[in-house]
């Protein structure tokens, strides 16, 4: 469950920070799935609770992580598997600053806590938590 007070701090707000807590796999590298160029902005539907009509205002994303592994079921029989393709993921600690078309409800704010975002969610990738963003105060917490 989200920390006490976080849900109340997010309700009806139209600005939000989304913190990536496990590496996230997006089709376009650092840019979350569902966002596309709209003139000089990135806008779209992120597929997360309350994040259906958003504008990306800023992103702090570290160097991409190269993730691979071994697929025991792949390759020739008896060969012991084959390497998985290397994927480039947005690292944990990345932060996305979003402007929402409508404020969040309490249920939507709760639904964002440890929500899964991007690909390979069944492997634990793409877990996020929401945070308060108040651009009128220079981006700090309320």
Residue 105 dihedral angles phi and psi, to the nearest 5°: -90, 170
Within-domain flag for 141: no
Taking the chain (142 residues) in consecutive chunks of 10 residues, what is each chunk's mean pLDDT?
A: 91 95 93 93 92 94 89 75 88 96 94 91 90 79 45
pLDDT score of 140: 52
Name the residue among 81, 88, 83 with its Cα closest to residue 69: 83
Within-domain flag for 1: no
Residue 32 dihedral angles phi and psi, to the nearest 5°: -60, 145
Within-domain flag for 108: yes
Within-domain flag for 140: no
Domain range for 120: 6-134
Number of helices (H), then strands (E), belonging to the chain: the values are: 2, 11
Number of domains in the chain: 1
- E strand or H helix that includes residue 110: helix 106-111
Within-domain flag for 11: yes
pLDDT score of 50: 87
pLDDT score of 138: 64
pLDDT score of 139: 53
pTM across the whole model: 0.87
Within-domain flag for 98: yes
pLDDT score of 142: 42
pLDDT score of 82: 85
Within-domain flag for 129: yes
Rounded distance between C-alpha atoms, residue 18 and residue 32, angstroms: 11
Name the residue among 126, 122, 120, 121 with its Cα closest to residue 85: 120
What CATH number does the domain containing 75 carry?
2.60.40.4350
Within-domain flag for 33: yes
Rounded distance between C-alpha atoms, residue 17 and residue 6, angstroms: 12
Rounded distance between C-alpha atoms, residue 140 and residue 5, angstroms: 16
């Amino acid at each position: 469950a989200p920390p006490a007070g976080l849900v109340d701090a997010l309700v009806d707000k139209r600005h939000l920070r989304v913190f990536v807590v496990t590496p996230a796999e997006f089709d376009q590298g650092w840019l979350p799935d569902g966002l596309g160029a709209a003139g000089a902005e990135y806008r779209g539907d992120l597929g997360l609770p309350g994040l259906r009509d958003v504008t990306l205002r800023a992103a702090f994303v570290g160097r991409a992580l190269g993730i691979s592994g071994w697929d025991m079921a792949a390759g020739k029989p008896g060969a012991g598997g084959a390497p998985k393709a290397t994927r480039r993921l947005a690292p944990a600690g990345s932060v996305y600053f979003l402007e929402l078309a409508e404020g969040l409800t309490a249920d939507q704010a709760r639904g964002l806590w440890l929500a899964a975002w991007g690909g390979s969610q069944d492997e634990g990738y793409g877990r996020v938590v929401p945070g308060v963003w108040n651009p009128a105060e220079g981006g700090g917490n309320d």
